[in-house]
Amino acid sequence: MSTIRPRSLPAYLLALPAGLWMFGAVVMPALLILWVSLWGGTAFGPGNPITLANYERFFANASYRGLIANTFLHTLMLMAITGVLGYGIAYFLVMKVRSRAWRTALFLAFIIPFWTSALIRAIAWVPFLGVNGVINQALMGLGITERPIEIFLYSRTGISMAQVSLYTLMASGPVVYMLAQIPPSLREAAMTLKAPPGVVFRRVIFPLTLPGVVIGQVLVFLSVMADFATVQWIGGNKIALLPNLILNFYEGAQLRAAAVVSVVLMACMLVGTFIAMRVVDIRKLGT
């Protein structure tokens, strides 16, 4: 017994405002984007004929197709880097740090920047990456290079460097959670049965953390696929990925084209998430 009866009218009434709000602000807009992407004609309004011509035009352009591939490649690379880095950090924090106070301190140092503005964190990379930036000053100061290297700002390298710092926590957080759930006795049992540490990790620890790894990878995948901001600010206008194309079309008042790219992006994200979820389920059946 609690202050709310199961399946009572108040339960529905309490859920209604939030449900309507989310439906109106998230589900409806997504459906509208899908609808607009199918509009023929030129006017803005519900009277347009429905056609696939916008999609045909988009996929006929080789450079747009290349952009989809590029976005995927960039995202996969980020997933690999943040995945390895995030797992290493999670393993260290949970399994290797013995003192509670140290663990809390390190974890806070890891997590706090996540709560500050992503915009500011991206801007903070600019003084680092420029031709006269901190990295180049340090490299020249140490005598590693004589002239400033221009590969950092306005480049894929710079974007990736900033994104690694922004998204590693997402790959790591779920793994931290899963690692903390593993009872120490499991590991001790395996060790007692004379399994070497490498085998304990491969056969016991890693399989148990796999759901966390996959969830982290999905979070990084979704974030990087849709991250127009870091690409725009650190890449200048020289680099564009799929989400930047949406913005370009939108600013050029080409709503249909922007909607097409949005639907393509949504489809990519859904497919990626779907594949990831299958990986977890298959593993669950196996063990």
Nearer to other proteins, 44 or 206 (CB): 44
3-state helix, strand, coil in the chain (%, to 5): 75, 0, 20
Q: Is position 36 an interface residue for other proteins (rule: CB under 8 A)? A: yes
Q: Taking CB under 8 A as the rule, does residue 10 contact other proteins?
A: yes
DSSP conformation class of 93: I
| Interface with other proteins, residue 110, by CB under 8 A | yes
| DSSP one-letter code for 39 | B
Residue 109 DSSP label: H
Is residue 33 near other proteins by the rule CB under 8 A?
A: yes
**Binding footprint of other proteins, residue count (CB under 8 A):** 85
* Distance of alpha carbon 259 from alpha carbon 265, whole angstroms: 10
Taking the C-alpha atoms of 109, 112, 117 and 123 in order, what is their torsion angle to the nearest 10 degrees? 0
The amino acid that residue 127 corresponds to is: P
Residues 169-208 that bind other proteins (CB under 8 A): 196-197
Exactly one of 157, 228, 254, 276 binds other proteins (CB under 8 A); that residue is 228
Residues 46-85 that bind other proteins (CB under 8 A): 46, 85
Choose which of 229, 240, 276, 279 interacts with other proteins (CB under 8 A). Answer: 229
Residue listed under structure tokens 């056609």: 51
Per rule CB under 8 A, is residue 40 in the interface with other proteins?
no
Read off the tokens for 99. 């003192």
| Burial environment of residue 108 by CB neighbours within 10 A (0 to 12, 13 to 18, 19 or more) | exposed
- DSSP assignment of 142-175, as one string? TTS-SS---SSTTSHHHHHHHHHHHHHHHHHHHH
Touching other proteins, residues 231-260 (CB under 8 A): 233, 243, 246-247, 250, 255, 258-259
Out of 47, 62, 63, 96, name the contact with other proteins by CB under 8 A. 96
Least Cβ distance, residue 185 to other proteins (angstroms)? 19
- Among residues 109, 142, 282, 285, the one that binds other proteins under rule CB under 8 A: 109
Nearest approach, Cβ of 8 to other proteins (angstroms)? 6
Residues from 133 through 152 that contact other proteins (CB under 8 A): 133-134, 137
Query: Closest separation between CB of residue 119 and other proteins, Å?
Result: 5
